[in-house]
Structure 1
Amino acid sequence: MRARDLSVLLGVILIIIMLVIPLPGWLLSVLILCNITLALIVILVSMNTQEALQFSVFPTLLLLLTLFRLGLNVSTTRSILSEADAGGVVDTFGSFVIGGNPLVGFVVFGILVVIQFLVITKGAERVSEVAARFTLDAMPGKQMSIDADLNAGLISEHQAKERREKVENEADFHGSMDGASKFVKGDAIAGIVIVLINIIFGLIIGMVQMDMSFQEAINTYMALTIGDGLVSQIPAILIATATGIVVTRTTTTGNLGSEVTGQLLQYPKLLLIAAGTIFMLGFTPINFFLTTLLASILGLSGYLLLKQSKEPEVPDIEEEDQTESSSMKSSENVVNLLNMDPIEFEFGYALIPLADSNQGGDLLDRIIMIRRQLAIELGVVIPVVRIRDNIQLNPNEYRLKVKGNEVASGELLLDHYLAMAPDIDDDHIDGIDTKEPAFGLPAKWITEDNKDDAELSGYTVVDPPSVVSTHITEVIKHVAHTLLGRQETKQLIDHLKENYPILVEEVTPEPLATGDVQKVLAKLLRENISIRNLPIIFETLADFSKMTNDTELLGEYSRQALSSQITKQFVHDDMSLKVITVSGKAEKMIAENIQQTEHGNYLALDPESQQLIIKKIHEEVEKLSLQEETAIVLCSPAIRMYLKQLLDRYLPQVVVLSYNELEPNVQIQSVGVVNVA
């Protein structure tokens, strides 16, 4: 163990020894001086800390120092009552400090006790109690503020974690200080009781057992008792004062000395007023020389401070400019400019109330809910969304950027509502024609006066924050696979490893690297398949990765393993599903044109055949859209992947499923056939 660790352990053992074993006078003197030294160090440290958490060990230290001081009281009491001697330090305080008059010493001791108990300790105890209660009450608000800054992109995940830990530590510290302040109060009471015990029993022992006269017993035991009380109360007052300093200290940028002098002398003119007031007091019976001397010192100080505050600090400004210039020229500053936010939401100045909580904006809270919703729906952690205003945009315009590229944009009218109804065209509802940004539905911006009429006419009416939050949600769903990189995949793997370590070890780093797993997961997300059920996906990868390392095929196997999830996602509650099937001839055409290479398999179909298949599927999709059904093409597992790759270029919204991806109890109803005959 290190010497620092041993010092505390030996100190606790020494306290136990003092409570049990009598100590010689010279050792008591050394320990008393150590007690005074420790108290002095504690108060100096408390004055130089910038915030309370920099002295977080103070509550525990307060308990140890109180116990050490009480141990000294027990040892000195034992020596005083048994040997009428408690060492040179106690004797010095009992004779020299009190001037040989025990009554004067008793009065001085009583004043010190009153100061400590009624003034310092009582105030520190009350401040500790209030600070603890206010800190606990403020915790939820501070946590929400941290979450808001994190979602706004003002701070990183690491900074948010540090701030949360600081909030928790502050609550723990002030809660501990609330209890630790009781140690100081109890110590003051114990000091009074110990002095009374020493005086009463000292007189009894001196007069009964040692045959002293009353005056002799008073002079002997009163002097030793008061000396012992003084050497105990002086460090006790220092510790109590340190307690008050720590609990009343707010977070600052300097120590107590610099803050007190800086704030007390920040108004030099007031020193001149004080100097004039003190000088006028000299015309009363008060000593004219002393008042004039003090007024002169105050006046000179105020004049010098006033003159200093008017002088321009040119060197400091130049130095600051040089520092800023050198910082802009540094390579590190240029490197920081390369950082790019994964998701950015920018808006014009007219949309600032959306994000300003002081104006009732709740966009930050909505972003938090969107990230939670997508984590549940897709099984992927969406990065923080950096929200900022952009004066280059139109006042009502907003745009969403992913990895620096614009992926969506739109316009909002904050003083209007968006009314949507694709099959309704009510001319008496006045509004500004537009399109709903998330799904492209025809809509109108209407005023609040027309809101009730629009709802009665069958319109779906939503407010602007709901419009933009829905748009953000749908866009992020669409680009979720691009947000899942190797780093994010590694985080998902590490999270899975906490509960399924053996499963993860079977898959990665061998036979599949993190990049291979990322490609499989991104493939699933690209087709809006949730990867939240990672254990099933990894079970599939563990089974099939030994046979092939083609991530496209592994993705197909994973889809089949998630058949119950896919069934629940696309099939109706009555277990029926309307689909467009692919004829045997069309499937054979696709299967015969699959080219196998060392870099993977791909569909090598001639352009005429491609156009024919796409045309047939498009015709069937148009028929199905009239029935307001989701366009789903059902085919065999062997060609599903290649058919989807073909349709992605022209009909990306069409869902392509294989028979193996649906549960056996699903009632499939074919509403169209893709035939190439």
Structure 2
Amino acid sequence: MSKSAVPDMGPAIGGPGSVGSMGQRLIRHADWLMGMAVLGLMVTLITPVPPVVLDILLTFNIAFSVMMLLVTLNVRHTSELSTFPTILLFSTLFRLGLNVASTRLILSGGEAGAIITAFGQFVVGSNLAVGLVVFLILIIIQFVVITKGAGRISEVSARFVLDAMPGKQMAIDADLNAGLIDADEAKTRRARIATEAEFYGAMDGASKFVRGDAIAGLIITSLNLVGGIAIGMMGSMTLGEAGQRYSLLTVGDGLVSQVPALLVSTAAAVLTTRASGRQSLGQNLIAQVGGRPKATLISSGVLVLLGLLPGMPPLPFWLLAGVLFLGWRSTRSIDGAEDLIGDANDEPAPKPRAGQAVANDEAATNARDIEADAEEVRTLLTVDRLALEIGYRLIPLVQDKSGSGILDHVAQLRKSVAAKHGIVLPAVRIKDNVRLEPSGYRVLVGGVEVARGTIEPEHWLAMDGGGAVGPIVGKETTDPTFGLPAWWVDSAGRDEAEIMGYTVIDSTSVLVTHLSETIKRNFDELLTRDDVKELVENVKLDAPAVVDELIPDRLGYGEVQNVLRNLLREEVPIRNMPLILEALSDAATRTKDVEQLTELVRQRLARTLCELYAGDKGVVYAVTLEPHLESRIAASVDPKSASDSKPVDPAYLQRLVERIEETLSTANQGGREVVLLVRSNVRRLIGELVRASLPKVAVVSYNEMIPARSIETVDIVRMDEVRVGES
């Protein structure tokens, strides 16, 4: 479309003098306007109001009540009007203020403005009793029928909503852990549940305002009538004149107050009785009631029969029967209200011609089948970053009746990993797999199995931690996490195993522990480039300078990801991301090698490493290599540094790993956590050699130990050169 073809839409929304700008200004000063309005309510209670001003306020009260009723008819969910209980309070106070102002005018001057007089003359006319009866009927309808029913519904709804909150919260956690929703969607759903509970709780109390308003209206009307007649008789009026004048004003005042009150109480009842849906109340009513063609046709026939009864006027019955028959003709092709309601689209689809109906139905069916097939293919192509597949006997362990289970443990595991290691785990997709054995499970990372095991539901795993005093009766097995001998015992044998000194763990904890250790061994594979970008963006909020200096001028997200993966592979926490990025920025000016960058970052994280490996007394217990052994390994890493050194073959390295394993096994007998302390130039090679057979052993360099930390050498790894031999 050319520029000249674009119609002139007037001032831009939000521009000077536009309606949007006025709305923005109102929103910006809403707090001031609200405060002034509430103070104005208080003023009407204590200061006289002129009749003209009272007429304006009464008109506003009627318009506001009509608007609130129409608004409640068009909301789709109660959370869209969560402020209604507060609105109900303010509208009640406003009406009471108007009652006080009108009472002051009636009793002081015998007049209350044009609106009240007009209402009284229209309803009362020449018969005072009719006006009083109409007023009492309105009071009874509001107080006995609408207000009482709405209050009861609010009370029951509040109770049910509060009772259902724990289940809804657990369902959200289950969807989040299963990967069906993300954290933002879970947060939105929790906020919606909290808002719904607060709304029904507030409506339960707000319904008392409406009931009190009806009682206050009845009392005020009685006082106006009795007080007005008494004041008139004390003046120059007779009893009949005073009764006629003040009765007219009193009934008019009561009607002007109670009609808006009836509208607002009806709006409250509509809001508490309606069910949430995608469409407004009017659309749902027409769709659900008018969408039953058979009921419409039968009702039309019943009305025809009633019109044939002797003495019955046939015209109204047959007229309405004809309307229902036409309604049946227009909806007879629809089977049930569900077809009429439709999906999320509010606008109805254009009605097809008769010749196109079958073709359109077939096309729509084919389109739905194609879309379903495409969605299924997309689902098959999606690879879960982290998944747990279970056999059918383990399905009850996902979430038991108390709300705990695998889902609850996984949620706690994600929080623990984030707090300790600084990495946000992806959602763990839990699904059943009929190809697994009934009590089996397996852990998948990136769609590939990395661990599997078998547990016994409703049993406990008893392991000998070194303090058991005798054998127990149970099914012999192996702990799936650490490969230690263990026994599955039932409820009867659990207490016996604990008494005999065995460590007893429930089956769910066994599975979750295996999952946790598997995740730790695969931290580096779980960290994606998007995760790294999110971590960097979080750092940028507090330390933007280091991020701007590093990325993208010195390093890219891929290089940062590789460094973080190296750290996580050795279970080094990456929580202190600002320090890591600062170290990378400094080191990137000297080298781009990822392995060297990792070593330099580790040295910058010296305090973190010492804190991680220190014992209860703050001492780091270490096993070291004898000097000539370290020199020989260093020469194999950098031959130029020692040209006269002897070569190192695979057999020598294998024997070295065996000696390190023997020495560490002896050093760990006291229950201490011992690290392998080596030179910085051999740390990476020794770490790679040791990690294959001793994944739990930490290999650190002297440059990663801070002087303030006490280091105690437990043992030294030595090699018998003659026995080993040379090649």
TM tier relative to shorter chain: 0.7 to 0.9
Matched, 1:485 2:528: yes
What's the offset of the Cα at 1:428? 8.6
Residue 119 of structure 2 is matched in structure 1 by: 93
Which stretch of the first structure deviates more once superposed, 79-88 or 401-410? 79-88
What's the offset of the Cα at 1:610? 4.7
TM-score by length of 2: 0.75
* Cα distance in structure 1, aligned partners of 2:229 and 2:574: 85
1:634–1:658 contact (8 Å) kept in structure 2: yes
Residue 377 of structure 1 is matched in structure 2 by: 420
* Cα distance in structure 2, aligned partners of 1:517 and 1:310: 61
2:656–2:719 contact (8 Å) kept in structure 1: yes
1:635–1:659 contact (8 Å) kept in structure 2: yes
* Cα distance in structure 2, aligned partners of 1:284 and 1:93: 41
1:345–1:387 contact (8 Å) kept in structure 2: yes
Change in CA separation of 1:478 and 1:595 when aligned onto 2, cut-off 3 Å:
farther
Instruction: Find the residue that maps to 2:417 and give its secondary structure.
Output: helix
Residue 138 of structure 2 is matched in structure 1 by: 112
Which stretch of the first structure deviates more once superposed, 608-617 or 276-285? 276-285
2:663–2:715 contact (8 Å) kept in structure 1: no
Residue 324 of structure 1 is aligned with which of 357, 368, 371? 368
2:451–2:518 contact (8 Å) kept in structure 1: yes
Q: Deviations over 1:466-522 (max 9, x none)?
A: 221111010001111222234333444555566667777776677665555444333
Change in CA separation of 1:572 and 1:92 when aligned onto 2, cut-off 3 Å:
closer
Residue 344 of structure 1 is matched in structure 2 by: 387
Residue 438 of structure 1 is matched in structure 2 by: 481
* Cα distance in structure 2, aligned partners of 1:226 and 1:250: 37
Equivalent pairs counted in the alignment come to: 665
Q: Deviations over 1:426-479 (max 9, x none)?
A: 9995635x5332223344556666666766777655443222111101000111
Matched, 1:216 2:241: yes
Which stretch of the first structure deviates more once superposed, 612-621 or 401-410? 612-621
Residue 243 of structure 1 is aligned with which of 268, 279, 283? 268
Which stretch of the first structure deviates more once superposed, 143-152 or 362-371? 143-152
Residue 179 of structure 2 is aligned with which of 145, 148, 153? 153
Amino acid at match of 2:516: T
* Cα distance in structure 2, aligned partners of 1:204 and 1:123: 38
Residue 2 of structure 1 is matched in structure 2 by: 22
**Percent identity of paired positions between Structure 1 and Structure 2:** 39
Change in CA separation of 1:349 and 1:538 when aligned onto 2, cut-off 3 Å:
same
Residue 623 of structure 2 is matched in structure 1 by: 579
Instruction: Find the residue that maps to 1:353 and give its secondary structure.
Output: helix
Residue 616 of structure 1 is matched in structure 2 by: 656
* Cα distance in structure 2, aligned partners of 1:51 and 1:403: 40
Residue 666 of structure 1 is matched in structure 2 by: 711
Change in CA separation of 1:183 and 1:634 when aligned onto 2, cut-off 3 Å:
same
Residue 638 of structure 2 is matched in structure 1 by: 594
Residue 470 of structure 1 is matched in structure 2 by: 513
Residue 166 of structure 1 is matched in structure 2 by: 192
Change in CA separation of 1:676 and 1:248 when aligned onto 2, cut-off 3 Å:
farther
Unpaired segments ≥5 residues, structure 1: 597-604
Which stretch of the first structure deviates more once superposed, 177-186 or 569-578? 569-578
Q: Deviations over 1:366-405 (max 9, x none)?
A: 2122223323432322222111112233333321111222
Instruction: Find the residue that maps to 2:649 and give its secondary structure.
Output: helix
What's the offset of the Cα at 1:160? 0.3
Residue 393 of structure 1 is aligned with which of 421, 436, 446? 436
Which stretch of the first structure deviates more once superposed, 271-280 or 398-407? 271-280
Residue 352 of structure 2 is matched in structure 1 by: none
Amino acid at match of 1:406: E
2:472–2:497 contact (8 Å) kept in structure 1: no
Which stretch of the first structure deviates more once superposed, 229-238 or 462-471? 462-471
Instruction: Find the residue that maps to 1:407 and give its secondary structure.
Output: strand
2:621–2:674 contact (8 Å) kept in structure 1: no
* Cα distance in structure 2, aligned partners of 1:223 and 1:610: 112
2:299–2:321 contact (8 Å) kept in structure 1: no
Instruction: Find the residue that maps to 2:700 and give its secondary structure.
Output: strand
What's the offset of the Cα at 1:222? 1.4
What's the offset of the Cα at 1:106? 1.5
Amino acid at match of 1:666: I
Amino acid at match of 1:246: L
Q: Deviations over 1:116-156 (max 9, x none)?
A: 23332234334434544554454444333322221122322
Residue 408 of structure 1 is matched in structure 2 by: 451
Q: Deviations over 1:67-102 (max 9, x none)?
A: 443454455445545664445543332123234212
1:271–1:302 contact (8 Å) kept in structure 2: yes
Matched, 1:229 2:272: no
Amino acid at match of 2:595: E
* Cα distance in structure 2, aligned partners of 1:290 and 1:501: 81
Change in CA separation of 1:473 and 1:570 when aligned onto 2, cut-off 3 Å:
same
Alignment of 1:43-192 (within 5 A): 43-77=69-103, 79-81=105-107, 84-132=110-158, 134-136=160-162, 138-192=164-218
* Cα distance in structure 2, aligned partners of 1:81 and 1:421: 92
1:591–1:639 contact (8 Å) kept in structure 2: no
2:623–2:715 contact (8 Å) kept in structure 1: yes
Change in CA separation of 1:42 and 1:326 when aligned onto 2, cut-off 3 Å:
farther
Which stretch of the first structure deviates more once superposed, 167-176 or 231-240? 167-176
Change in CA separation of 1:333 and 1:364 when aligned onto 2, cut-off 3 Å:
closer
Amino acid at match of 1:370: L
Q: Deviations over 1:520-554 (max 9, x none)?
A: 33322111222345566466557656665555344
1:349–1:396 contact (8 Å) kept in structure 2: yes
Change in CA separation of 1:675 and 1:525 when aligned onto 2, cut-off 3 Å:
farther
What's the offset of the Cα at 1:14? 7.8
Matched, 1:639 2:665: no
Residue 566 of structure 2 is aligned with which of 510, 513, 523? 523
* Cα distance in structure 2, aligned partners of 1:470 and 1:631: 23
Q: Deviations over 1:267-323 (max 9, x none)?
A: 899999999999999999996979997998999899989976779989697465244
What's the offset of the Cα at 1:239? 0.6
